[in-house]
Structure 1
Amino acid sequence: MESHLSTRGEDFAKKKPTFLGVLENAWDPLLNPEGIVNLGLAENTLMHAEMKELMNSKIQVDSHSLTYGDGFSGSRKLKEAICHFLNKNFSPDTALLPSHITVTSGVSNALECSAWALFDQGDHVMVGRPYFNAFRSTFSDRAGVGLLEVEFGKVDPFGLAAIEKYEEALSAARQKGFRVKALLLCSPHNPLGRCYRENVLREYMRLCERHKLHLISDEIYALSVWESPDLPDPVSFKSILSINAAQIMDPSRVHVVWGLSKDFGATGLRIGCLISQSNGRLLEATEGFSLLNFPSSLADSLAASLLMNDTFTSHYLTTNRQRLTQSYDFVTTFLKSHRIPYCQSNAAFFLWIRLGAATADRKATDDEILAKLRNQKVYIAAGYAYASEESGWFRMVFAHPRDVLEEGLKRMLQALAS
């Protein structure tokens, strides 16, 4: 039968996320032992018990929560709670105010808001490889903004030498007629799990000033930075908000996104925010289409209660970091024992691992390795989905209880041996 879809409808149908099949057949040791072990999606399930206990104790529905509330871009209560929490944990140079924030249904939604409001169709945003795969759909699918990928080769993507790679890519792109309007940082980085030093962040800001670029800092993993047994002198997280932008670049071009999905293991809550302290017009623009980004009033209320609870958030963040360290140590010890190379990290909750160097068939392509993993019913994401510069790399999430990791790693080894 004919679908009767539009051309763009047909295009979207082809983009149905492949991981939906994983979610529909998730492994459970008792209920679904033949299901798929999910070590691919960037979710942190280590603290779900604590989050459930808090949320179940805070569900108090009033009439206000059953209405449009204070508007479509977050309640006044939630904006004040976000300011309270981020002023405490991000150490902004200028204290955050509710007028600096628009609340959205998740951080990807906040990024898409910036794409609609800051850029025109056909504009480009620079991003270094590898990068979070959903950036493509977030900027391109509906807003029509392209990504200009920056390659680093042997240069450390977190060092000062990386700035020159951006300069080269920008120059080459503009010579070809590309309209490059912004630089996008994922800080801490997805998928590499590392942070940028302050002096490097400042150089990125100077780069943006030289070329009149917007700087968008995705800080969704900001507070998921932990003590790594691999790194005795790790780089800690530094928010762009903590740097006095006015001394370096036009502050109206500095924007930050953050949300509860990662740091609080609540991807289903769908609460994110776009922060722009010196560009009120940007936030007014997002109000213009805020009906399309309206977060649930119930989620809004829960998030506000959570972020204002200093006792809970302090204990939560400390415990979460401890558990991330333990999970990282468990998985990396396993990888070392089986001679599977990986990149050392101390942030977020995934590892960049080189399965291509550990498979029995060293000539196996990434797609062939993926097929082997699927056959063993374990989901680990291929590096090429993140624009990896080299083949053989995969992103594996370790922020899960020990039984999930043990089952997933066992299946991964079986796949590599096949």
Structure 2
Amino acid sequence: MACCATPSCFIPEVTSSLCFAVPSPCPGGSGSASGDATWRETPDSGASLSKAATDCLRTLRIHDGEGLDTVSATNSSNDQQGHASTSAAVVETSHQPAPLSRRGDSHASKHTPFWDTFDAMLSNPYCPETNPGGFINMGIANNSLMSAELLTYLRNHLDLEPIDLTYGSSLYGSTRLFRALCHHLNSAEFNPVHAVEPRHILTGPGAGPMLDQIAEHIADPGEGFLCAAPYYNGFDADFATRSQVRCVPVFSPDGDGTEPSSFAGPSALRGFASAYSSSQASGVPIRAVVVCNPHNPVGRCYDRAALVHYGRFAAERGLHLIFDEIYALSVFPTDDDAEPQRFISALAIDWQNEAGLHPGSVHIITSASKDWGMNGLRIGMLVSQHNPRLISAMKSTGKLYMVSSAADALFSHLLLDESFYKPFIALNRARLSWAYALARAWCRHHAIGYVASNAGHFVLIDLSPHLAVAAAGGRTEHEAEALLWRRILERQVCLTPASNYHHPTPGVFRMTFSLKRDEMLEGLARLEDALGLEHWTPPPPPSSPFVQQHK
């Protein structure tokens, strides 16, 4: 939930064991590390790599056998020397532990009291039978709509082999998982121009670690990535915590970034040219553009023309183009829009011919977390079809990001099981559509504005009319928003302020609707208490047996 804005951000802190946002300076350094120009030139693989990535490539070559003749053997003189006698002097006791590095101190300072509060929230989840007073978390994107079917399937299909008790068949995934992912990504849902092959894929424990890895390998400390605001707040921490890469928000000059025109054609890039120039001038060189499609937190998909214009923008400036496609299969029908934009994968675009962009500059991140409702299994993947240099660089650190054999086996089995795969996607979409309709009906009943959505697990709702009471006493709108959030949290329910996603309007919140029906209704009732609204009578559950399995 941490965020890093430019020039300031909102870092939640705690008062009376509750969290709210206050302005705080951005973490992350400024200026870029100098690099070896020879190593940074990669004319055959699109945009260039970072200094760290080229160092990783050097390491790989040493491990592959190059330069081993320069490594001298250590002598064994220590075996022939006696040990010094133990001193009888009294050693003074130290009252302080050895210090951390500057990097360690920096990381420790970023662990605000908010994280302890959020952790306590996760450890106290609502359950109607065993913990009815627990927290209902409508702030984090968990999809519980398919949990019953998933748990049954996973319990019946954990089939481990002897090799799963070793380091497996690859340091960067497994031959089994690569085969399953290729089967998945070469399906009609993604419609790739070029078939995805195992050599194009790296895996790790979730999308966040893969974003962390790619930031380290395509940018140097103090450099930046452009991303249209509002955007998923995890990008800030994923890029900045270790790699010290800034995610630079791009604000639309003609709206708040949620309107349909922000996802269609060239208008999707309003503000990008000026943001690029401003960032360069301020000493934050831009190295990549990040596109979240389907979008978090807006819940919409970009049309093909918008994606191509992103490619042209990156090509003109020699930038990498990173796509987060973690909600690719979580697109659902809704009567808010008779013809909603369908999902188009970056794999389905011929970047060279349609946008003039070297395809080696295009990289895709996705995971098992959202479309498959398995945040806890921790499986993420990067697909880069035309940049073997980047793949090689990331392999040098990939052994630090290995996926558990059990998670690997379960997810591979699911992806290759046609009897489960397609029905699961269809049922999940139907339940997301129904759950969204329930949240929308609640908003309409209480005259609460919302942004029409047809993808993801959430909807943006406008609670700004409720800031007036909180703003009494001369408080700013952001202070009023923090107090409103505190009032909501006091009812043991959590939404996320959209300011954490760099939304420009105070009082807008992201509300997750992909909860089980009883939990969703209880959460909405608690929100009514927090906002001083009369209780709403929900419509009956869907009559279709297809959707009714959801309890």
TM-score range, shorter chain: over 0.9
Amino acid in structure 2 at the alignment position of 1:346: N
| 1:181-330 alignment, distance < 5 Å | 181-247=287-353, 248=355, 249-330=357-438
CA contact (8 A) 1:226 1:325 kept: yes
Q: Partner residue of 2:491?
A: 376
2:510 to 395, 406, 411: 395
Comparing 19-28 with 190-199, greater Cα deviation is found at: 19-28
Shift of 1:144: 1.0
> In the alignment, what sits opposite 2:11?
none
Mapped to 2, the partners of 1:11 and 1:354 lie a distance apart of 35
TM superposition shift of 1:9: 3.4
Amino acid of the structure 2 residue aligned with 1:315: P
User: Which AA in structure 2 matches 1:309?
Assistant: D
Tell me what 2:227 maps to. Answer: 127
Q: Residue 98 of structure 1 aligns with which residue?
A: 198
Amino acid at match of 1:157: S
Q: CA shift at 1:359, angstroms?
A: 5.7
Q: Distance in 1 between matches of 2:414 and 2:373?
A: 13
| Inter-partner Cα distance in structure 1 for 2:104 and 2:132 | 37
CA distance in 1, matches of 2:97, 2:451: 46
Q: How far does the alpha carbon of each residue in 1:37-78 deviate from its partner, in whole angstroms, 9 at most, with x for none? A: 111111101001111111111112221111111222100110
- State whether structure 2 residue 117 is matched by structure 1 residue 12: no
Distance in 2 (CA, whole Å) between partners of 1:209 and 1:178 is 19
Deviation, 1:103, is 0.9
Q: Which runs of 5+ in 2 are unaligned?
A: 1-94, 256-260, 472-476, 534-551
Report SS of the residue matched to 1:147: strand
**Does the Cα contact within 8 Å between 1:359 and 1:416 map onto a contact in 2?**
no
Residue 180 of structure 1 aligns with which residue? Answer: 286
Which TM-score applies when normalising by structure 1?
Answer: 0.96
CA contact (8 A) 1:112 1:143 kept: yes
Kindly indicate whether the alpha-carbon contact (under 8 Å) linking 1:185 and 1:218 is maintained by their aligned counterparts in 2: yes
Q: Which moved more, 1:170-179 or 1:201-210?
A: 170-179
Aligned mate of 1:340, from 439, 443, 448:
448
Q: In structure 2, do the counterparts of structure 1 residues 356 and 99 end up closer, same or farther at CA, with 3 Å as the change threshold?
A: same
1:60 to 150, 159, 170: 159
Report the secondary structure of 1:361's partner residue: helix
Question: Counterparts of 1:78-89 in structure 2 under 5 Å?
Answer: 78-88=177-187, 89=189
Instruction: Determine the C-alpha separation between the residues in 2 that align with 1:90 and 1:407.
Output: 37
The answer on whether the counterparts of 1:360 and 1:417 sit within 8 Å (CA) in structure 2 is: no
Deviation track 1:6-32 (CA, whole Å, cap 9, x = no partner) reads 244344344443421211111111211
Structure 2 residue identity aligned to 1:328: Y
1:362 deviation in Å?
A: 6.7
Question: Could you tell me how far 1:3 is from its partner in structure 2?
Answer: 7.1
Looking at CA atoms only, which structure, 1 or 2, has the larger radius of gyration? 2
Contact 2:299 2:453 in 1 (8 A): yes
CA contact (8 A) 1:234 1:346 kept: yes
Contact residue 226 and residue 322 of structure 1 kept, 8 A: yes
Match 1:111 to one of 211, 215, 225: 211
CA distance in 2, matches of 1:144, 1:12: 11
1:392 and 1:4, CA in 2 relative to 1: closer, same or farther beyond 3 A?
A: farther
2:485 is matched by which residue type in structure 1? L
SS of 2:347's partner is: helix
Cα distance change on mapping 1:3 and 1:372 into 2, 3 Å: farther
Q: TM-score, normalised by structure 2?
A: 0.74
Q: In structure 2, what is the Cα distance between the partners aligned to 1:178 and 1:400?
A: 40
Cα distance, 1:5–1:325 mapped onto 2, change above 3 Å:
farther
Q: 1: CA distance between counterparts of 2:407 and 2:139?
A: 26
SS of equivalent to 1:303 = helix
Q: CA RMSD in A?
A: 1.6
Question: Cα offset for 1:153?
Answer: 3.7
Identity score, percent: 35
Cα distance between partner residues in 1 of 2:270 and 2:315? 15
User: Structure 1 residues 330-339 or 19-28, which shifts more?
Assistant: 19-28
Aligned length: 418
**One of 132, 143, 146 as aligned partner of 2:246:** 146
TM-superposition CA deviations, 1:331-365 (whole Å, max 9, x none)? 10011001111100100010111112246727371
* 2:549 match: none
Q: Secondary structure at 1:157's aligned position in 2?
A: helix
